[in-house]
Chain A
């Protein structure tokens, strides 16, 4: 069974660092890209970026480049989203999803989401 399991909810203070994770199972992790999506409270979906776990190459949305880092470790079938200095405006639900390189648009499995709350 294909699954993407994300790490648990986080409560942080502004300026702190954070890394959340997305672990794939039930499939060959390096054969699919992982994307990250943000959803701020009561708002729509925003694409942060994507990573190819086979070579860890990532693309970022200009809106997030320089503020977040997307990485992966294929030895543990896990992708990561990290911040070095959180802001209150980073408060949101973050989702990862699998992207089938061979079939454009096939975002077929999603993680359950990680809620990040940043507050002083």
Chain B
């Protein structure tokens, strides 16, 4: 199975900061990667699909980049509502696999 290594596992940031979260695949997955935001007690919400495509309705401060094995989610200008846990998921090959998650906390 393809392993997805997400880093960091948690980070502290302030409103207005630029935040980057990394996801590394154990093998080439082209651009078959999605990013999700999850708040406590809620279902995940799709932010980015196909590595860099912004899901409809998602603020433009969220962006995704990368292909192959290295991917990045960037939040430019962190807002109070962005404090949450972020997950990556590869759907290149079965079994589809998630990263371990990154918790973004208020500094």
Closest chain B residue to A99, Cβ basis: B91
A-B contact count (CB 8 A): 72
In the complex, whether A7 has a CB less than 8 A from a CB of chain B is no
Query: A44–B101 contact, CB under 8 A?
Result: yes
Point out the residues of chain A lying under 8 angstroms from B96, CB to CB.
35, 47, 50, 61
In the complex, whether B34 has a CB less than 8 A from a CB of chain A is yes
Binary CB contact string for chain B from 78 to 94 against chain A (1 if under 8 A, 0 otherwise): 00000000010101001
Closest chain A residue to B102, Cβ basis: A44
In the complex, whether A69 has a CB less than 8 A from a CB of chain B is no
Query: A45–B101 contact, CB under 8 A?
Result: yes
Q: Out of B1, B43, B91, B97, which one reaches A105, CB within 8 Å?
A: B91
In the complex, which range does the number of interface residues on chain A fall in?
20 to 34
Q: How far is the CB of A120 from chain B (nearest CB, A)?
A: 26
Query: A105–B49 contact, CB under 8 A?
Result: yes
Q: How far is the CB of A95 from chain B (nearest CB, A)?
A: 5
Point out the residues of chain B lying under 8 angstroms from A97, CB to CB.
43-44
29 residue pairs bridging A and B, Cβ less than 8 Å apart: A44-B87, A44-B98, A44-B99, A45-B36, A45-B87, A45-B98, A47-B95, A47-B97, A49-B95, A50-B96, A60-B95, A61-B1, A61-B94, A61-B95, A61-B96, A97-B43, A103-B49, A103-B50, A105-B33, A105-B53, A105-B89, A106-B34, A106-B46, A106-B50, A107-B44, A107-B49, A107-B89, A108-B55, A113-B43
